[in-house]
Structure 1
Amino acid sequence: MKRVLGVALGVLTAIGGFVDIGDLVTNAVVGARFGTSLVWVVLVGVVGICLFAQMSGRVAAVSGRATFEVIRERLGPRMGGANLIASFAVTILTLTAEIGGIALALELASSVERRLWVPFAGLAVWLVLWRVKFSILENVTGLLGLTLVVFAVALFLLGPDWGDLVDQAVHPGVPAGEARTTYWYYAVALFGAAMTPYEVFFFSSGAREEKWTAKDLSQSRINVLVGFPLGGLLSIAIAACAAVVLLPRAIEVTSLSQITLPVAMAGGKLALAVVILGVVAATFGAALETALSTGYTLAQFFGWSWGKYRRPAQAARFHTSMLVVVVLGTLVLLTNVDPIAVTEYSVVFSAIALPLTYLPILVVANDREYMGEHVNGRVTNGLGLVYLGIIVVASVAAIPLMIATGAGQ
C-alpha cells in the first residue's frame, strides 16, 4: 500500500510537469497543424525525461542531498550559477504560463474575463504553498489531474480513422502547405515541453521532502515509469483529438476553448466540465511545482534552509522567494500579455536551457564520491550521452528556427 501511495509523486510530476499548460497548448497546436506526425517527438521526450528523472531521484535517495545541492558542490559556483540562472529564468516564465492557464480555465468555466481571475489564481497558488503539506499537495492535485484522461475517452468517442492516425505517426512527414522549418520548430517545442528543467529539480527535491534513502530506489523507478509515460499517453491523446477535429476544419489553436473543443464535441457538457476540472488541476499542480522549483533551486544554491516540511518561520527565505515569483508572474499576467503566447515561448526557451540542466545531472550521477555503487551503468551512460547530443542539437536549433518561422507562424 505504501508503494502504491508513493506513486503519487510520479503522477503529480506527470500531470503537473508533463501535462501542463505547455503540453496542452503545444500538443493541440501540433495536432491541429501536423496531425499525429510529431508523435515520435513525444516518445523521445518521454524516454529522455524518464532517463534523467531516474538519475535525479537516485542521486537524491543515495546521497541524501537534492540534485541542485550536489551540482553546486560538485561543479562549483560558476557552473552551478549558470545552471541556476538558466533554469530559474525558464521556470519563472513557465510559472507565469501556468497561472495564466488556471485563469484561462476559470474563464472558460465562468465566461468572466481571464485577467479578473489572475489575482485569485496567484493568491490560491501562494496560499497552498504557504499552508498545505507536501503530501496533501501532491496527492490531491495529482488525482484530480487524472481527469485529463477524458481526452483519451473523447478520442474513442469521436470514432477516428485509426489507420490514418497510426500511419501518420509511424510514417512522419511534413504535411502539404507546411514548411519544413515550421515542422522542426514545433518538434523542438514539443521536446522542450517534455523535458522542462524544473521537472527534475522538483522530482529530486520531492524525494528529499519524502526522505527517500537508497532503500527507496525501487520506489523512484516506479514513480518514473508510471508517471511520465502516463503523461506521454495523455499528450498523444490531446494531439490526436486536435488532429481529428481541428485539422480537417483548418482551426488554428489560439485559445483554451479550441483545445477543449474535441472533448465537448465527443461528450457534451459533462465531458467539458470534466476537462475543465482537469485543466485547472494540471495547471494548478504545475504552478505549485514551478514555484516550489524556484524556491528549491535558490535555497539549494545559496545554502538556505528549505522544504515544505519546515514551517515558513524556519525557512523564511525559501518561502519568501516563492511568494516573490508568484507575485511577479501574476503582475505580468495583469498586463495585456496572452497566456497562450507566453506558453509557446516558455517551451522553446526550455529547450534552449536543457544542456545546462542535464549535463550536470549526468556528471553527478557518475560521481562515486556521492553515489558509491549506485553510479550509472554503461547502458544508462550510453543513453545519457545520446540524449545529450539530442539536447544540444535542440538547444542550438531553437533560436534560428524561431527566427526563421516567426515563432511557428
Structure 2
Amino acid sequence: MKRIFAVALGILTAIGGFVDIGDLVTNAVVGSRFGLGLVWVVLVGVVGICLYANMAGRVAAVSGRATFEIIRERLGPRAGFANLAASFLINLLTLTAEIGGVALALQLASGVDPMLWVPLAAFGVWIVVWRAKFDLLENVTGMLGLTLIVFAVALFLLSPDWGSLAGQALAPTVPSSESVATYWFYAVALFGAAMTPYEVFFFSSGAIEEGWKRKDLMTERLNVFVGFPLGGLLSIAIAGCAAVVLLPEAISVTSLSQVVLPVAQAGGTVALSFAIVGILAATFGAALETTLSSGYTLAQYFGWSWGKFRRPARAARFHLSMIVCIVVGVLILFTGVDPIAVTEYSVVFSAVALPLTYLPILLVANDREYMGTEVNGRGANALGVVYLVIILIAALAAIPLLILTGAGA
C-alpha cells in the first residue's frame, strides 16, 4: 500500500496537468476533428514533461529546496522575476478555468447553472488548501481522478476499427475539412497543455512538502515515470472516444456533455457516473494544484515562509496570496467568460512562456553547487537541449497560429 501511495504526487500532478478542464475539452475537440492524428503531440509532451519534472524533482530531493527558490538565487532577481511573471499570469488564468471547470462538472451532475456553483467550488478549493494535509490532498484527489480510466474502458466497449485508429495515429494527415494552420495550432495547444509550467513547480514544491531526500530519488522517479505517462494515456483515451463517436457524426465539441457522450453511449449510466466523478476529481485536483502553485511561486521568489507543512499562521503571506488568487479567479468568472475558452487560451500562452520555465531548470540541474554528483548525465542534457529547441519553436509559433486560425475555429 505504501508503494501505491508513493506515486500519489505524480498521479495528482499528472491528472491535474494532463486532464484538467481544458485538456478534457481540447482532446475531445482534437479527436472529433482530427481523429488520432495528433496523438504524436501527446507522446512528445509526455516525454518532455517527464524529462523536466524528473530534473525538478531531483533538484528538490537533493538540495532540499524548491526549484523556484534556486532559480532566483542562481539566475538573479531579474531573470527570476521574468520567470515568475510569465508563469504566475498563466497559472492565474488556469486557476480561473479550473474553478470554472469544477462548476461545469457539478452542472453536469446536477443540471444547475454553473454560475451558481462557482462560489461553492471556490470555497471548496480554499477550505481544502487551508485545512487538509498535503498527503490527504494528493491521495484522495489523485486516486479519485483515476476513475477517468472509464474513457479507456469505453473505447474498448465501443469496438472501434483498431486498424483505422492505428492508421490515424501512425500516419497522421490533415483532413480535407481542416487547414494546415489549424492542425498546427492544436498541435501547439496540446504541447503547451502537456508542458504547462505549474506542473513542474507544483511537483518540485510537493517534493519539499513530502520531505523527500536523496534516498527518495527512486520514489521521485516512480512518481514521474508512472504518473505522467498515465495522464498521457488518459488524454489519448479521451481523444480516441471522440474519434470513434463524434468524428463520424461531425459533432462539434463545445461542452462537457459532448465530451462524455461516448462514455454514456458505451457504458450507460454507470459509466457516465464514473466519468463525472473523474472529471470532478480532475478539475478539483487541478484547481488545488494551480492555487498552491500560485502561492509557491510567489513565496519562493520573495522569500516568504511557505508550505502546508507549516501552520497557516506561520505562512500567512503564502496563504493570503492563494486566497487573493482564488478571489480574482471568481471575479473573472463572474464576468460571464467561458472557462473552457479561458483554459484553451491559457495552454496556448503556456507554450509562449515555456522557454522561461524550462531553460532555468536545465541550468540548475547541471549545477554541481546544488546537485553534487546528481547533475544531469549526457543523455539527459542532450534530450533537454532537443526539447528546448522544440519549446522555442512552439513558443514562436503559438501567437501567429492563434491569430491566423482564430483560436482554432
TM-score where L is the length of structure 2: 0.99
8 Å contact kept, 1:8–1:142? yes
Q: How many residues align?
A: 409
How far apart are the structure 1 equivalents of 2:80 and 2:173? 40
Which residue in the other structure is 1:12 paired with? 12
Give secondary structure in 2 for the equivalent of 1:229.
helix
Q: Deviation of residue 114 (structure 1)? A: 0.6
Comparing 19-28 and 315-324, the one that deviates more: 19-28
Amino acid at match of 2:41: V
1:205-258 per-position Cα deviation (integer Å, ceiling 9, x unaligned): 000001111111111111101000000000000000000111111111111101
How far apart are the structure 2 equivalents of 1:373 and 1:405? 47
Give secondary structure in 2 for the equivalent of 1:246.
helix
How far apart are the structure 1 equivalents of 2:148 and 2:2? 25
How far apart are the structure 2 equivalents of 1:120 and 1:335? 17
Q: Deviation of residue 21 (structure 1)? A: 1.2
8 Å contact kept, 1:72–1:79? yes
Matched ranges for 1:82-161 at <5 A: 82-161=82-161
Which residue in the other structure is 1:225 paired with? 225
1:44-92 per-position Cα deviation (integer Å, ceiling 9, x unaligned): 0000000000000000001110000000000000110000000000000
Q: Is residue 405 of structure 1 aligned with residue 405 of structure 2?
A: yes
Q: Is residue 35 of structure 1 aligned with residue 35 of structure 2?
A: yes
Comparing 10-19 and 290-299, the one that deviates more: 10-19
Q: Deviation of residue 4 (structure 1)? A: 3.0
How far apart are the structure 1 equivalents of 2:120 and 2:206? 26
Amino acid at match of 1:125: V
Q: Deviation of residue 331 (structure 1)? A: 1.3
Amino acid at match of 1:264: A
Q: Deviation of residue 41 (structure 1)? A: 0.1
How far apart are the structure 2 equivalents of 1:23 and 1:407? 15
1:15-54 per-position Cα deviation (integer Å, ceiling 9, x unaligned): 1112111211110110010000000000000000000000
Which residue in the other structure is 1:300 paired with? 300
Which residue in the other structure is 2:270 paired with? 270
Which residue in the other structure is 1:55 paired with? 55
C-alpha RMSD of the superposition = 0.7
Which residue in the other structure is 1:257 paired with? 257
Q: Deviation of residue 2 (structure 1)? A: 3.3
Runs of 4+ off more than 4 Å:
none
Comparing 16-25 and 275-284, the one that deviates more: 16-25
How far apart are the structure 1 equivalents of 2:299 and 2:339? 28
Amino acid at match of 2:257: S
Which residue in the other structure is 1:78 paired with? 78
Give secondary structure in 1 for the equivalent of 2:65.
coil
Which residue in the other structure is 2:236 paired with? 236
8 Å contact kept, 1:25–1:343? no
1:134-168 per-position Cα deviation (integer Å, ceiling 9, x unaligned): 01000000010000000000001111111000000
Q: Give the share of equivalent positions with the same residue, in percent.
A: 75
1:98-154 per-position Cα deviation (integer Å, ceiling 9, x unaligned): 111100011111110110000100010001001100010000000100000000000
Which residue in the other structure is 1:287 paired with? 287
- Structure 1 runs not aligned, ≥5 long: none
How far apart are the structure 2 equivalents of 1:373 and 1:296? 27
1:318-348 per-position Cα deviation (integer Å, ceiling 9, x unaligned): 0000011011111111221111111211111
Q: Deviation of residue 298 (structure 1)? A: 0.3
Q: Deviation of residue 3 (structure 1)? A: 3.4
Give secondary structure in 1 for the equivalent of 2:280.
helix
Which residue in the other structure is 1:330 paired with? 330
Which residue in the other structure is 2:384 paired with? 384
Which residue in the other structure is 1:372 paired with? 372
Amino acid at match of 1:14: A
8 Å contact kept, 1:67–1:205? yes
Amino acid at match of 1:209: E
8 Å contact kept, 1:59–1:371? yes
Give secondary structure in 1 for the equivalent of 2:248.
coil
1:274-301 per-position Cα deviation (integer Å, ceiling 9, x unaligned): 1011000000000000000000000000
TM-score where L is the length of structure 1: 0.99
Q: Is residue 163 of structure 1 aligned with residue 171 of structure 2?
A: no
Amino acid at match of 2:396: V
How far apart are the structure 2 equivalents of 1:122 and 1:244? 35
